[in-house]
Structure 1
Amino acid sequence: MALKQEIASFKSLDDVPPGPMTLEGHDVCVRNSADLLEAMGLPGGLLPLEDVIDCGFNKDTGLVWSRQKKPSSHFFPRIRRTVSFDTEVRAYVSHGHLRAVSGVKAKEFLLWVPVGDVTMDGDTTVKFKSYGGISRSFPADAFARGQ
């Protein structure tokens, strides 16, 4: 179900209808993706994507996705890490947790390591885990909107 941009909002999950919904346009998707992350107890700036085409959320399954025109990367200055994002980023979201993440890699030394899981560890720490078992924890405010 595609929603009109002016009425679409993930700020309150109570207002999101059951089943899948898709939004179109960069500004709408960036704002609503950040709203959804924050509504689920995660930092709103975890996915700083560029040139987003569309995004969506399935309230029944927790699947969330965003598609951008081309792969992008973002440097998070507080943690001194670069993260790359494929054209499509997908995950299953629940309160304080992103699981089965695809399309996200973090640079660790000279390697690009796929991120598989993101979990809030308390209120102030975000823990990232790769599919290979490597994990790193960082301050949650390093991933606030605009960082």
Structure 2
Amino acid sequence: MSAPEPTANLLTSRHRRRKDMSMVVTQDIRAKAEVCYGDETCREKIISLLTEKGLPSGLITVLEEIEEYRYIKDTGFVSLKHKSKGKDHKFDKVAVCYDNEVTAYFEPNRIRNLTGVKAKEFLIWITLSEIYVSGDIPAALITFKTPAGFSKSFPLSSFSFKDEEEANEVLEAKIGKLKGVKL
């Protein structure tokens, strides 16, 4: 009989400590976050944040029935939960799929460490990890980047509402769809 390797025990105990630390951090993040519930309130908060950070207002607001919004101002961490899992939306030039939970860190003109969002390219859904805006309006571009480092850019106007009236029309259509009433 041979004795168990000390390295294996050491790795196991380190793994346990690391796992415990991540749980503490998660609880810490939840404690620091500004939390909102309900579609209307959450939608207002995310639109305000997108505008404040210089990102297009239509980028994430296409989600239906947003249940929860968490935001930590110090780090820029955002978490959104909505009822529909695998919600697809077709923008002018790209199809995007949102998981029922989307998380990211928001910075001026940039979303990094993005989870829960995929884009369709040549019939394949590709996970996105970063979105950023570059250039001056009206020629600004929005770029989607994958964890592998591949990226593709589109005109910023493809993801923005042209005016408040269009944003309201989209919102009313979504509400009508939820109630089963055609507008």
Question: Into which bin does the TM-score normalised by the smaller protein fall?
Answer: 0.7 to 0.9
CA drift at 1:70:
2.2
Aligned to 1:63: 77
Aligned to 2:24: none
Find the residue that maps to 2:46 and give its secondary structure.
helix
Aligned to 1:107: 120
- Confirm or deny that 1:128 pairs with 2:128: no
Contiguous gaps of at least 5 residues in structure 2: 1-31, 162-166, 171-183
**1:71-82 equivalent positions in 2, closer than 5 A:** 71=85, 72-76=87-91, 78-79=92-93, 81-82=94-95
* TM-score scaled by length of structure 1: 0.82
Find the residue that maps to 2:84 and give its secondary structure.
coil
Q: 2:64 is matched with which residue: 37, 50, 55?
A: 50
* TM-score scaled by length of structure 2: 0.66
CA drift at 1:136:
0.6
Find the residue that maps to 2:81 and give its secondary structure.
strand
Find the residue that maps to 1:49 and give its secondary structure.
coil
CA drift at 1:90:
0.5
1:43-70 Cα shifts (integer Å, max 9, x gaps):
1111121111111210011101110012
- Measure the CA separation in 1 of the matches of 2:64 and 2:154: 23
Greater strand content? 1
**1:30-45 equivalent positions in 2, closer than 5 A:** 30-45=43-58
Aligned to 1:137: 153
- Equivalences, count: 127
What amino acid sits opposite 1:137 in the alignment? S
> Aligned-pair RMSD on alpha carbons?
1.3
Find the residue that maps to 2:80 and give its secondary structure.
strand
Q: 4+ residue runs of structure 1 moved beyond 6 angstroms?
A: none
Aligned to 2:42: 29
Between the aligned residues of both structures, percent identity stands at 35
